[in-house]
Chains A and B, each alone.
Chain A
Amino acid sequence: MKLSPGNRGHINSRRKIAGPEVDRRGALECMIWAGTGVLWTLSGGVPKSLGLLGDALAAEASAFTFAHISDSHIGFNKPANPDALGTLREAIGKVKELKTHPAFMIHTGDITHLSKPDEFDNADQLIGEAKLDIHYVPGEHDVIDEGLGKAYLARYGKGTKGSGWYSFDDHGVHFIGLVNVIDLKAGGLGRLGPDQLAWFADDIKDKSDSTPIVVLAHIPLWTVYADWGWGTEDGLQALTQLKRFGSVTVLNGHIHQIVQKVEGNMTFHTARSTGFPQPAPGTAPSPGPMTVPAEQLRSLLGIASVEVRTGDKPLAITDTPLAG
């Protein structure tokens, strides 16, 4: 376990979400800043509770997996990575090489850097080479077109509500894609808003406690570092509604590095970027792109694959850097 010296928000969020009992349970918290290949299984540290995934999926014949990429920032060409398209290509190549063919892929936002049509086009073309169904949620860089989000919705909004939120079921798992990058306020965190929260409550109300839940959103739904806006101001209102479920996995992007923790039955994980790395919380004047020696760059970018395995506990997430 490695904690950043600057992660006050992180610790606070743990207390807010689950109360002091989490400490007694010895919840696992783990933050990995930059690393080479990381393989870890979320089952370690998760208290047994109702409807662990393995139980819920006991009838399933085999595991299914899905891939997770994030923060491609197509269009970015600054020194931190002059070739964001090239590193996305490498990431898609890694997805193609996965031993178990993923059922689909999720992209947790910042597909583009400036919401420009050609950036979306280039991303779509490359990501399409994976030949997988893709489930997106937008990042704030995807909604800075003149229409402040209309371009994103025109491409990816089919079948979604509001600014692009949705849910679907696959292999007994309920997936919920949330949008927390619209109408952000000065100095503020991400935001879901009352309309989306109302939809969210309605979406899960008929789900049984044993239904595994996977939530996708761009900005972390829990507070990683408030000073840099790395959290969602009303995220707790969504998370508290998920407490009754036996297995909840929250997958985010935005911070371009892996941060993970387990709290009760909830597992939080942020993905690396395929575009460029960002500094660990509080270690730089601002969270802008972090330029590293060229030979290190690919060890800080990457993909994740998530495995839902029969007879196993929650979801196993494997992070794979592009190199290293």
Chain B
Amino acid sequence: MTRSRSDSLAARSTRAGGVRALLLTLAGLVAILGLGLVTSGGRALAEDETIKIANFTFDPPTLTVKAGTTVTWVNSDDIPHLVTEKDGKFHSSALDTNDKFPRRSRRRVRSSISAQSIRK
């Protein structure tokens, strides 16, 4: 049996007015099997997703995806932003206007599931 859980990734944006993060929640998603591995027959195929950064917010603000999905942040503001995992495990380089940051969600992300509320 498969349990699906959302993993929330926080992103931080550097705004002219302050590094602000927010935006957040990517939901990385993940299907975590009781012991670790995943997959079950009913799992949908992963499809790539895009999160647009505009006016210092993520659009969509929350996204839940399957393991293996590549999520790409695109900065549409005319001020740079950083996308940062909420616990600081990874971050993008400074994204200037129209720069992109692709990130593939992985299965083993349990440690980052803890702090944030799980949303779907």
Chain A residues in the interface with B (C-beta under 8 A): 73, 78-80, 110, 113-115, 140-141, 144, 146, 148, 181, 184-190, 219, 228-230, 254-256, 278, 285-289
- What residues of chain B have their CB less than 8 Å away from a CB belonging to chain A? 10-12, 14-24, 55-57, 77-80, 82, 86, 91, 93-94, 96-97
Residue ID in chain B nearest A187 by CB atoms: B22
- Given A186-B23, A187-B22, check contact A78 B16 (CB 8 Å): no
Q: In the complex, what distance in Å separates the CA atom of A256 from the CA atom of B19?
A: 15
Of the candidates B16, B17, B86, B94, which one forms a contact with A186 in the assembled complex, judged by CB atoms under 8 Å apart?
B86
B18 and A289 form a contact (CB under 8 A): no
Task: Report the separation of the CA atoms of residues A190 and B21 in the bound assembly, to the nearest whole angstrom.
Answer: 12
Q: Is the CB of B14 within 8 A of A144?
A: yes
The 3 closest A-B CB pairs, nearest first, are: A186-B21, A229-B18, A287-B17
Across the interface, which residues of B come within 8 angstroms of A188, CB to CB? 20-21
- How far apart are the CA atoms of A144 and B97 in the complex, in Å? 15
Given contacts A228-B15, A254-B18, list 17 more A-B pairs with CB under 8 A: A78-B78, A78-B97, A144-B80, A144-B93, A146-B93, A184-B19, A184-B20, A185-B21, A186-B12, A186-B22, A187-B20, A190-B18, A230-B17, A278-B16, A287-B17, A288-B77, A289-B79
Docked CA distance A181–B17 (Å): 11
In this complex, which of A110, A141, A219 has the most chain B Cβ atoms within 10 angstroms of its Cβ? Answer: A141
If A285-B55, A289-B79 touch, whether A186 touches B20 (CB-CB below 8 Å) is yes
> Which residues of chain B are near A186, meaning CB under 8 Å?
10-12, 20-24, 86
Contacts of B22 in A (CB 8 A): 186-187
Which chain A residue has the least Cβ–Cβ distance from B79?
A288
Complex alpha-carbon distance, A61 and B22, angstroms? 52
Are A114 and B20 in contact, with the CB atoms below 8 A?
A: no
| Residues of A contacting B55 in the complex (Cβ-Cβ under 8 angstroms) | 285-286, 288
Structural contact, A289 and B20, CB atoms closer than 8 A: no
Measured between alpha carbons, how far is A187 from B97 in the docked complex, in Å? 20
Q: Which residues of B contact A255 (CB under 8 A)?
A: 17
Q: What is the distance, in angstroms, from A115's C-beta to the closest C-beta of chain B? A: 7
For A79, give its contact among B16, B24, B78 (CB under 8 Å): B78
Closest B residue by C-beta to A186: B21
CA distance A235 to B7 in the complex (A): 33
Please give the distance in Å from A280's CB to the nearest CB on chain B: 12
12 A-B residue pairs with Cβ-Cβ distance under 8 Å, sorted by A, are A79-B78, A148-B91, A184-B21, A186-B11, A188-B20, A228-B18, A229-B15, A230-B17, A287-B16, A287-B56, A288-B78, A288-B79
In the complex, the answer to whether A230 meets B18 with C-beta atoms within 8 Å is yes
